[in-house]
Amino acid sequence: MQKTKRLLAIEKIIAEETISTQEELLKKLKGKGISCTQATLSRNLRQLGVGRIPDGSGGYKYSLQENHRASSSSTLKFNIVPVIQDIVEAKGLMVIRTIPGNASNTAFFIDGAGRYEIAGTIAGDDTILVIPRDGVTLQAVHTCLEIILPGIHEQVKNRK
Amino acid sequence: MQKTKRLLAIEKIIAEETISTQEELLKKLKGKGISCTQATLSRNLRQLGVGRIPDGSGGYKYSLQENHRASSSSTLKFNIVPVIQDIVEAKGLMVIRTIPGNASNTAFFIDGAGRYEIAGTIAGDDTILVIPRDGVTLQAVHTCLEIILPGIHEQVKNRK
DNA sequence: TAAAAAAATGAATATATTTGCAAAATAAAT
DNA sequence: ATTTATTTTGCAAATATATTCATTTTTTTA
């Protein structure tokens, strides 16, 4: 799917460099062999939850909302990371294990972050299945999880 | 100063309700007896660091960056709150006391939030002087501090 | 307090973003 | 495989936002 590739490329570009207009983003994409019109970008940016915010020096830049929703409960976030037991990849999916009874809360939190990379999650009692969107690498999902729950990988490492 | 009043009103309106265009904000302000042109709003919004982000249901809304900078280090934030000892008001200023040696870090963090309400801070070893901008109430500064460091007032209450 | 400098503002305009609509592409159903 | 429904996209037009320039207001300096 052409759109998925474009959305991922947009996220990446915006995360890595300062983009201040859609026309500018259009050129960057063209440089990567992805082409579309500015109108499409406008729609895509909305879908991705990308906002336009002052860059602090008189201009504007596009910005992933990152944890605009998630950050509202940083305490909750802090409480969630410690319940994570393990993260393993399987069949192109990702499986997260928590201490018993905590999978549902954690999955809810992950869903709430509204990340494009994650198509959805299914939670049991102590296991969460994270389903990446088509075309999204597990590497990207790891990055994404670290954004949603900073320190999650460190936590897992320490458990071992 | 007319501008200060307007900036504060803008922050308040944006924090409390959903605004999707500058024209809309213009009307709300007019309702509060504050009038200016859209051009001025455009400049003010930039100065306040107000961004325009997707509202999740097809539209856009203006949004204070809140802790766009601060949230990037939620762990740090979590570590800071516990060092706060007390908050007292004096001479229209606000004095925050921390455990010894932590005033500077905390002040740096507060400054970093880039809140309009706070003109600046001065930190000693265990004391921070928070200087509100002219026309800003201490009540507003309290609200502001709670935004920068969620749980700070609860922390202080528990200390007593 | 008067003069000079800096900051803020409005009006008009330039620039940027969003949207309606029809066509094209993709996915689903028969 | 063909048809039908859904989604995506470009184009052109409509909206919305940012900026230029001249003027007014506020602040600073002498």
Q: Give the pLDDT confidence of A6-52 residue by residue, as tens digits.
A: 988 888 888 788 899 999 999 999 888 888 999 999 999 998 889 99
Contact at 8 Å (CB) between B157 and B137? Answer: no
For chain A, say whether B46 makes contact (Cβ under 8 Å): yes
Q: What is the pLDDT of residue A16?
A: 80
User: Mutate which of A47, A62, A74, A148 to test chain B, going by most B C-beta atoms within 10 A?
Assistant: A74
For chain B, say whether A46 makes contact (Cβ under 8 Å): yes
Q: What is the pLDDT of residue B90?
A: 67
Over residues B101-108, mean pLDDT: 72
Over residues A131-139, mean pLDDT: 76
Residue scoring higher pLDDT (A20 or B139): A20
For chain A, say whether B61 makes contact (Cβ under 8 Å): no
Which residues of B are less than 8 Å from A65 in CB distance? 53-54
Residue A73 phi/psi, 5° resolution?
-130, 65
- In angstroms, the CA A115 to CA A144 distance is 7
The crossing angle, in degrees rounded to 10, of helices B22-31 and B2-16 is: 110
Give the pTM.
0.59
Tokens 């880039």 belong to residue: B114
B147 to chain A: nearest residue by CA?
Answer: A72
Task: State whether the Cα torsion A66-A70-A73-A78 is positive or negative.
Answer: negative
Asked if the model's pLDDT at residue A67 lies above 50, the reply is: no
A residues 71-130 closer than 8 Å to B (CB): 71, 74-75, 77-78, 114
Percent of chain B surpassing pLDDT 70: 77
Contact at 8 Å (CB) between B35 and B75? Answer: no
Over residues A95-103, mean pLDDT: 76
Percent of chain A surpassing pLDDT 70: 76
Nucleotide closest to residue A1 (CA–C1'): C26
Are A51 and B58 an interchain contact pair (Cβ–Cβ within 8 Å)? Answer: no
- In angstroms, the CA B160 to CA A135 distance is 54
For chain B, say whether A50 makes contact (Cβ under 8 Å): yes
Which residues of B are less than 8 Å from A149 in CB distance? none
Tokens of A59: 């201009």
Percent of chain B surpassing pLDDT 90: 16
Residue scoring higher pLDDT (A2 or A42): A42
Q: What is the pLDDT of residues B42-93, one digit of tens each?
A: 999 998 889 999 887 788 999 886 533 333 334 445 556 777 877 877 667 7
The distance from CA B153 to its chain's CA centroid, rounded to whole angstroms, is 15
- In angstroms, the CA B145 to CA B136 distance is 13
DSSP states of B44-73: HHHHHT-EEEE-SSSSEEEE--TTTTGGGG
By CB atoms closer than 10 A (0-12, 13-18, 19+), residue A103 is buried
B42 to chain A: nearest residue by CA?
Answer: A54
Residue whose C-alpha is closest to residue B47's, from A70, A55, A35, A137? A55
Secondary element (H or E) of residue A103: helix A103-112
Percent of chain A surpassing pLDDT 90: 16
Q: What is the pLDDT of residue B158?
A: 64
- In angstroms, the CA B55 to CA B7 distance is 22
By CB atoms closer than 10 A (0-12, 13-18, 19+), residue A142 is middle
Contact at 8 Å (CB) between B54 and B91? Answer: no
Q: What is the pLDDT of residue A138?
A: 82
Residue among B53, B78, B151 minimizing CB distance to A65: B53
Task: Quote the mean pLDDT of chain A.
Answer: 77
Asked if the model's pLDDT at residue A112 lies above 60, the reply is: yes
